[in-house]
């Protein structure tokens, strides 16, 4: 996924270590398929228990729990307080971007469908490519990629347009727009990482900033608003939070960063369109969410545009 890291050459030199980027094999392809399946199920897991516990409370709790897992991993990797202080400025910005992404995701799920959020959240590679083009030397877009961006934006316009009868559900439109803003926030986080010293730091340090800042900001917000106090911790809610904390926020993201260290990001990025596709399927099959014709056409155009940009 280009929105998390740029294309990487076959050899990348980091301090005194040479990282060899291998062509994508069967094992890596299987792991990427698993990664996309997990991310595709994320919105469904949040939406499925939204009546028992608000999406904001879910994001706050899962960030805290995942941070409690990532920080010991960072310490084990030799990352200390000195490293945290040395990169606190970009770390804070990355944390704020990560928080903004999930605030709009949680807020948007109050209005729109999980299948819609899955598509609009993963517009992030498009916005990231534009940001990198403008702000990072060597990341300029080729003509083919501009066609992909145009296709994706056309798909967005089609997907949020009124349905066949000309009617428009205002609440769903609001949620869809929040999904796009969440994608913008994700893209902004990518650009900050690429332009800062964090681009050369271990993934555990960056992820620690992201999760810690999100938990520190959203836990008080969930408490003050009363959303956390009114949560019902049923067995389904506990299972959902466990999945989101351990599998999504901890395991899947570390899996992604480990794959980036071993394989070419340009090849891994081709798989990125599968995450919103799985989200669309899970939302339809598990939550019985309706799909309008224009959303299907627009969603296909968005995913094709993403493939053209990151391929």
Token pair in block for residue 256? 């992604």
Burial of residue 190 (number of CB atoms within 10 Å: 0-12, 13-18, 19+): buried
* 33-46 tens-digit pLDDT: 898 899 889 999 99
When the pLDDT of each residue in the chain is averaged and rounded to a whole number, the result is: 84
- The CA-based angle 232-238-244, given to 5 degrees, is 120
pLDDT at 78 over 60: yes
Chain center to CA of 93: 16
Q: 251 CB contacts (<8 Å, ≥6 apart)?
A: 38
pLDDT at 172 over 50: yes
- pLDDT value at residue 3: 42
Name the percent of the chain lying above pLDDT 90: 40
Based on C-alpha coordinates, what's the Rg of the chain? 19
User: Roughly how many angstroms between the first and final C-alpha of the chain, as a whole number?
Assistant: 9
User: The tokens 């990664």 sit on which residue?
Assistant: 35
Cα–Cα distance for residue pair 284/160, rounded to 1 Å: 18
Domain boundaries, the chain: 11-310
pLDDT at 266 over 70: no
* 201-215 tens-digit pLDDT: 888 899 999 999 999
pLDDT at 251 over 60: yes
To the nearest 10 degrees (0 to 180), the angle between helices 203-224 and 55-76 is: 150
- pLDDT value at residue 20: 52
Q: 298 CB contacts (<8 Å, ≥6 apart)?
A: 119, 155, 156, 157, 158, 159, 160, 161
């Amino acid at each position: 996924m280009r929105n998390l890291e740029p294309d990487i050459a076959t050899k990348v030199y980091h301090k005194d270590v040479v990282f060899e980027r291998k062509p994508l094999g069967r094992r890596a392809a299987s792991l990427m398929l698993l990664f996309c399946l997990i991310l595709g199920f994320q919105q469904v897991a949040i939406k499925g228990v939204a009546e028992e516990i608000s999406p904001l409370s879910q994001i706050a709790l899962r960030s805290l729990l995942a941070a409690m897992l990532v920080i010991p991993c960072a310490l084990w990797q030799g990352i200390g307080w000195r490293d945290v202080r040395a990169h606190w400025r970009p770390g804070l910005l990355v944390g704020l971007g990560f928080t903004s992404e999930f605030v709009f995701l949680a807020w948007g799920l109050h209005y729109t469908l999980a299948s819609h959020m899955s598509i609009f959240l993963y517009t992030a590679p498009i916005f990231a490519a534009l940001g990198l083009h403008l702000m990072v030397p060597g990341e300029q877009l080729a003509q083919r990629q501009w066609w992909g961006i145009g296709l994706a934006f056309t798909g967005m316009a089609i997907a949020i347009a009124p349905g066949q009868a000309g009617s428009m559900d205002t609440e769903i439109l609001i949620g869809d727009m929040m999904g796009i803003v969440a994608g913008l926030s994700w893209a902004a986080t990518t650009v900050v990482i690429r332009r800062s010293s964090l681009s050369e730091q271990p993934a555990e340090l960056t992820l620690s900033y992201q999760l810690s800042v999100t938990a520190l900001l959203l836990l008080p917000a969930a408490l003050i608003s009363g959303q956390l106090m009114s949560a019902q911790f049923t067995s389904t809610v506990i299972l959902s939070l466990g999945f989101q904390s351990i599998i999504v926020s901890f395991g899947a993201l570390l899996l992604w960063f480990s794959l980036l260290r071993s394989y070419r990001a340009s090849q891994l990025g081709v798989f990125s369109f599968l995450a919103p596709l799985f989200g669309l399927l899970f939302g339809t099959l598990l939550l019985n969410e309706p799909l309008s014709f224009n959303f299907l056409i627009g969603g296909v155009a968005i995913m094709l545009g993403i493939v053209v940009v990151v391929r």
